[in-house]
Amino acid sequence: MNATRKLHDLGQSLWLDNITRGLLTSGTLSRYIREFAVTGLTSNPSIFDQAVKSADFYDAAIGQKALAGKSGEALFFELALEDLTRAADLFRPVHDATGGMDGWVSLEVSPLLADDSAATLKAARELHARAQRANLFIKIPGTRAGLPAIEEAIFAGVPVNVTLLFSREHYLAAAEAYMRGIERRIAAGLDPRVGSVASIFVSRWDVAVKDKVSAGHRNRLGIAIAMRTYKAYRDLLETPRWRNLVASGAHPQRLLWASTGTKDPAAPDVLYVEALAAPDTINTLPEKTLLAFVDHGKVGSALPVDGGDAEAVLAEFAREGVNDEALAAELQREGTAAFAKSWNELMQCIAEKSKVLSEAKQS
């Protein structure tokens, strides 16, 4: 039995953190589903930016859409929805077999809307309606402006992948927004089964402190933050408030480990996959990390539900001068800015390709 199947049997879903048209047309994604127990997929602006820049899979479609008068965000979302609805259809059997708990794909609203709750909600509702897929999440950042949009989107029946969460406190705020949305649906007599996941970014913690802590502390902070958050997640599922929601038919907002590719070349390439094995969670892996884990990954013990030694490790980092609360806020700001930068670069790339390809078709 390969390592990915062992994680699946442990109760953790493995999702691919990548989407390209080549993955779809070559049959590679279908193979990952069949052979590696991959049961979902995520995307973000950086992933699409690289996909469009690095290959010609999108050139014909961009040229055709440009000639039809499409440009900018409108053109991009047509491309993205073509890919993600096709991926959603590949995962639909998993979605149906698990009663909607698994088999999801994700599409992010424009990161330029991160500070605008109303515009984020409007975009989320429009993208959800256009996709017409029961297993497509709309990604909304768990920022101050994003949280009200998340609650309203859930109340409106839009499944949400809450992105750019970096701490236990970020997670709990996202969970609160989700629960409020579900509670409002129940009060209004609506179906409480609206899917959601809460995505905690892990490896960026260790990148941020690499040159600020002693060598013995490197590549330990992200895992400690994840362990602390996992305890909060398991504790929340045991509360009377959540049990009341379950009794009404609601699904749990599953915890998702994001940013699990190892950034430090001196560290094991499957560090965060092996360390974060945990039932009732999701690990979304870059393709390189997935293939490495298939090749030489090992599944050990699951994360302790009581947080294990997370607080002791975080106390060590505090003594090293790391303020995890302040750093979480900084990482969320940086993550928002990085996605906005990728978005702007993606729009520029599409504009340049549109011009060249439409001119070529007209000549």
d(CA 247, CA 343): 41
d(CA 31, CA 212): 42
| Inter-CA distances, 72 with 65, 339, 352, Å | 11, 16, 10
Tokens of 164: 């750019």
d(CA 34, CA 139): 26
- Specify the DSSP element, H or E, that contains 212: none
d(CA 192, CA 1): 37
Query: Strand, helix or coil at 217?
Result: helix
Q: Dmax over Cα atoms in the chain, in whole Å?
A: 68
355 is catalytic: no
Which listed residue (6, 70, 122, 139) is catalytic?
Answer: 139
Of 68, 95, 295, 322, residue with least CA distance to 208: 322
Catalytic residues: 139
